[in-house]
Structure 1
Amino acid sequence: MAGSALGIERPGDRDAAPLRVAVVGTGGWGAQHARALAARLDCELVAVVGRDPGRAAVRAADYGARAYTSIDGMLEAEHPDLVTVSLPNEQHFEPTMQLLRAGVPLLVEKPLVFDLDEADALLEAAGDTFFAINFNHRYAEPVLRARAAVQAGELGELVFATWRFGGEANRGPSPHANLIETQCHGFDLLEHLCGPIASISAQMTRMTYGAYSTVALALEFASGAVGTMLGSYDSSYAYPDTQRVELNGTAGRAVIRDTVRELSLQSVGDETERVWRAGYFDDEARSFERTMDRHLDAVLTALRTGAPPPVRASAGRRALELAHAAIRAHETGARVPTLPAGGA
């Protein structure tokens, strides 16, 4: 997975016929969608859709695409093979449903939605349509290496796991914006690394601006391991170790720092750490934004071959389910069971 910003090769399969792709959304992360797609040899970014005509026109012009303010108008004119969606966090449902009803393959940003009934409606409307969600943390180099270590048995049986992630507030109408739109990465990643979460207990505070801006969760995994999550909008992304994941097993420990910055592995009783950091020329691996490019590689491969998405939209529904369980745990003061359908 390693690469370099100094490489002159554009990413993508040069022998594949380019897929026609469109981006819905002209915000900051939508810019990453447009950048990553336009840079590929195996894609042609044909359209950018935005509510503001001026912003849409500027973004489209940046990448040689056409601007639209209507999803239906774009679909009728461009007939895209894939649409990616990056919109304000609490405005996902209607545009996503519109695209699913049109039967177009989708890659959507997290969170899927804020309401479980809406999540179920989207998944039902999707049917067999290719429907992926961008949990891009999974594609960071430290995460890939940590998961490989877990699967190879290097850590033994996992006993506990911790997730901490905090920065400046991204305020919105929901009092649980931090939990649903940001800590969804934690729910997804911990289950990706440690297996299903079986129950949740919760503490939350709204002392700074009225929303539940910092949350502390206690987790039980189906495996018998335990875990913690601390997520905050009362911190700063400028702080070192604003994001930290620790996996502690019977044979060793893995620590991920700031998603893309560093992975350390250590065996029980051994004072020597094995540390991965991106090399001098490996700018790609140290860039958080490039985790989007890595996920796109997997998404496009799956789409071309008729395989399921590498991260299905149902993973977004699962993260939302866990967030709502945490909310119930806080409201009731009780531990809430969270095993997915079918158990462990």
Structure 2
Amino acid sequence: MSERVRVAVVGAGGWGRQHARAFSQHSKAELVGVWSRDLGRAEARATDWHTKGFDDLDRMLDETTPDLVSVCLPNTEHFLLTRQLIARGIPLLVEKPLVFDLAEGETLIREAAERDLFFAINFNHRYAVPVLRARDDLAAGRLGELEFLTWRFGGEGGSDHHPHANLIETQCHGIDLLEHLGGPIESVTADMTDAQGNHPTVVATLRFAGGAVGSLLGSYNSSYAYPGTHLLEVNGHRGRLLIEDTVKRYTFSTAGEPTREVWEASYFDDRSRSFEQTFDTHLDALLPALQSGAPPPVPARAGLRALTVATAIIQAHQTGRRTQVPSG
């Protein structure tokens, strides 16, 4: 592979703009094409970043010979096109959610594994500075044995495309981070609001394999304009950490101490305060991994895992009983 990874972006929507921007601006990448079903949109996006637009996927792949394809499509349209790309044997980075159906997700993971394919997913919350600091403090043992973890995240959203859209496509970040910081979730209970068969708000109680308990509260009937729209807390016997609005603030407190350690981005540190640029930081890890033949830093299997936990939450709500989460 050359010094710069040749990348084609599939999708010309809102978040696809961030994919095109990030790859175009990254020193280890070269954006070689943008695909959309609408040629006009593909060409307009490509023009922004001095590359070529396509509405024929196979033609783009044949002409541009990418080292990596980055897939950023409407959330419910991931399965068929991702499977088509897996069949072409091209390394992939896909957006969350992996898919909405567990069997479809298992199919994608299996077919990629059969080809020993580099297959990554963009859980970019992992690359926010507060989350990176949280991982460091947990690894250093500063929190001690974990007692509870809680995630809250609410904003505007629509559930017309899937009754559990909020849980699967947005709270997947919460499921991923809670396990990223607290280890595997082994069982869940849940309740949800009901809006003509859709479930815009979900609350789940969680039991972790390590003995801690936790909660997840997510809603599409809130507002991203509200202060404190997002909060993640991890509480241990020796200390507590708080992550506010993903990129805004990180606070560590030692048990019994009235003073706290607080991180916030400094005046000129626009990148650290930008949610969008958590994707750039993910690429800082992903592109060298691809070039060196290492596994992706966030494998697509993490997307399947988040969907597995989400499916257990749905089952717990439907049955009114605590539901075991399959391991893996």
TM-score range, shorter chain: over 0.9
Counterpart CA distance in 1 for 2:105 and 2:286 is 21
Q: Does 1:18 align with 2:28?
A: no
Count of aligned residue pairs for this structure pair: 325
Partner of residue 285, structure 2: 298
Partner of residue 266, structure 2: 279
1:17: how far off?
Answer: 2.0
- Conserved? CA contact 1:244–1:257, under 8 Å: yes
Alignment of 1:252-267 (within 5 A): 252-267=239-254
Partner of residue 35, structure 2: 49
Letter in 2 for 1:149: D
Counterpart CA distance in 1 for 2:121 and 2:58 is 22
Q: Secondary structure at the match of 1:154?
A: coil
Letter in 2 for 1:145: R
Q: Does 1:184 align with 2:172?
A: yes
1:124: how far off?
Answer: 1.3
One of 193, 210, 214 as aligned partner of 1:205: 193
Listed one character per residue, the Cα deviations across residues 246-271 of structure 1 (whole Å, up to 9, x for unaligned) are 00000010000000000011011111
Partner of residue 328, structure 1: 315
Partner of residue 220, structure 2: 233
Alignment of 1:122-133 (within 5 A): 122-127=108-113, 128-133=116-121
- Conserved? CA contact 2:159–2:200, under 8 Å: no
One of 233, 237, 242 as aligned partner of 1:250: 237
- Conserved? CA contact 2:143–2:236, under 8 Å: yes
- Conserved? CA contact 1:197–1:339, under 8 Å: no
Counterpart CA distance in 1 for 2:185 and 2:314 is 15
1:172: how far off?
Answer: 3.7
Task: Determine which structure has the larger helix proportion and give its number.
Answer: 2
Partner of residue 136, structure 1: 124
Q: Does 1:338 align with 2:328?
A: no
One of 153, 156, 163 as aligned partner of 1:165: 153
Partner of residue 10, structure 1: none
1:171: how far off?
Answer: 3.2
- Conserved? CA contact 1:201–1:329, under 8 Å: yes
1:169: how far off?
Answer: 1.1
1:228: how far off?
Answer: 0.3
Partner of residue 91, structure 1: 77
Counterpart CA distance in 2 for 1:41 and 1:48 is 19
Q: Does 1:149 align with 2:137?
A: yes
Listed one character per residue, the Cα deviations across residues 149-193 of structure 1 (whole Å, up to 9, x for unaligned) are 111111111100000001001334210000000000000000000
* Structure 1 unaligned spans of 5+: 1-15
- Conserved? CA contact 1:222–1:339, under 8 Å: no
- Conserved? CA contact 1:188–1:315, under 8 Å: yes
Counterpart CA distance in 2 for 1:101 and 1:262 is 42
Counterpart CA distance in 2 for 1:73 and 1:195 is 43
1:339: how far off?
Answer: 4.3
Identical positions, percent: 58
Q: Secondary structure at the match of 2:76?
A: coil
* Structure 2 unaligned spans of 5+: none
Letter in 2 for 1:226: V
Letter in 2 for 1:171: S
1:41: how far off?
Answer: 2.2
Task: Say what the alpha-carbon RMSD is for the aligned residues.
Answer: 1.0
Counterpart CA distance in 1 for 2:291 and 2:78 is 26
Listed one character per residue, the Cα deviations across residues 272-324 of structure 1 (whole Å, up to 9, x for unaligned) are 11100000111110000010000011110100110000000000000000111
Partner of residue 305, structure 2: 318
1:40: how far off?
Answer: 1.6
Listed one character per residue, the Cα deviations across residues 61-95 of structure 1 (whole Å, up to 9, x for unaligned) are 10011111121111111110011000000000011
